[in-house]
Amino acid sequence: MAVMHEIDYRIYGEEMQFVEVELDPMEAAVAEAGGMMYMDDGIHMETIFGDGSQQQRSGLLGALMGAGKRLLTGESLFMTIFQNRGHGKRRVAFGAPYPGKIIPVHLHEIGGELLAQKDSFLCAAKGVSLGIAFTKRFGAGLFGGEGFILQRLQGDGLAFIHAGGTILQRDLAPGELLRVDTGCIVAFQPSVAYDIQLVGGIKTALFGGEGLFFATLRGPGRVWLQSLPLSRLAGRIYAAAPQGGGRARGEGSILGGLGGLLDGDNS
């Protein structure tokens, strides 16, 4: 069993947050490669396969298996360990990749396990294991849009996940059902049943602007939701970006042409 490192932290900012982790001598944190913002002198960086916990338990074979699981989720094969090799407390900070909130989760307080969207993990205390979790129903992955492979965080330590926009934490009672846009799910306890359902009216999906499928979360258990999924943000940016010839999408329409005349664009 890997030893969980006890770390202190502080979260800064509002819309674009970062978390500063304080490490005692020989304590360490693990993060995605490229997630570090700054660090004090005395902290040693080491890029590894997997998450570090697999290496402690199973040697090279465990490390390769852990890295392979991460590859299936679309994440990097490598992670970075930040260890304090100085004589006093040292700090290292990790920045959020886009506007939103950083959520600290004490895994030992929620049963030692958390299922999260594959791009929501930011960093954790060394010893937290990162793996993959297949949803119980294949349809949930086939039609869910956000991928039927979720990240599984296991251990007794502290983990930090990132979510876009405003965060909602909700505790579902046994049997309580919540219907959610698939992209708005950040994380949930494994006791929560996760599935994908077809939208009731096909016209609602085709003409209402919503997707054909939504997720269902059934309690008991805690769930975290986000108001601004990365996929939704990226879609809006792409739609507003100039498409070929410097014109934004939609400017070829009648309204777009009228807009060009009003703007003085006669080309």
Q: Is the dihedral of CA 159, 164, 167, 172 positive or negative?
A: negative
Task: Please check the confidence at residue 175 and state whether its pLDDT lies above 90.
Answer: yes
- The domain ranges of the chain are 8-237
The 3 state secondary structure assigned to 194-228 is EEEEECCCHHHHHHCCCCCEEEEEECCEEEEEECC
Tokens of 88: 């006093």
For residue 136, the 8-state DSSP code is: S
Q: What count of other Cβ atoms lies within 10 Å of the Cβ of residue 165? A: 18
The topology (CATH level 3) of 8-237 is: Double-stranded beta-helix (3.60.160)
Instruction: Determine the Cα–Cα distance for residues 184 and 164; give it in Å rounded to an integer.
Output: 9
Asked if 217 contacts 150 with a C-beta cutoff of 8 angstroms, the reply is no
Instruction: Determine the Cα–Cα distance for residues 186 and 212; give it in Å rounded to an integer.
Output: 20
The 10s digit of each residue's pLDDT in 83-115 is 999 989 999 999 988 889 999 999 999 999 999
Residue 170's DSSP bridge partners are 223
Whether the bond into 97 is cis, omega within 30 of 0? no
CA 178 to each of CA 90, 219, 231, 255: distance values in angstroms, whole numbers, following the listed order: 42, 9, 21, 40
Q: How confident is the model at residue 33 (pLDDT cuts 50, 70, 90)?
A: confident
CA 91 to each of CA 7, 22, 36, 51, 257: distance values in angstroms, whole numbers, following the listed order: 10, 5, 11, 20, 55
Asked if 175 contacts 219 with a C-beta cutoff of 8 angstroms, the reply is yes
Instruction: Determine the Cα–Cα distance for residues 241 and 13; give it in Å rounded to an integer.
Output: 28
On average, the pLDDT of the chain sits at 77
Asked if 179 contacts 214 with a C-beta cutoff of 8 angstroms, the reply is yes
Task: Please check the confidence at residue 3 and state whether its pLDDT lies above 80.
Answer: no
Instruction: Determine the Cα–Cα distance for residues 266 and 264; give it in Å rounded to an integer.
Output: 6
Query: Higher pLDDT residue, 40 or 250?
Result: 40
The reply to whether the predicted model has a pTM over 0.85 is no
At residue 100, what is the residue type? G
Residue 250's DSSP bridge partners are none
pLDDT of residue 84: 96
The lowest-confidence range among 12-26, 34-48, 171-185, 202-216 is 202-216
Instruction: Collapse the DSSP code of 254 into the 3-class scheme (helix H, G, I; strand E, B; otherwise coil) and give the result.
Output: helix
Asked if 104 contacts 158 with a C-beta cutoff of 8 angstroms, the reply is yes
Asked if 23 contacts 92 with a C-beta cutoff of 8 angstroms, the reply is yes
Tokens 């306890």 found at: 189
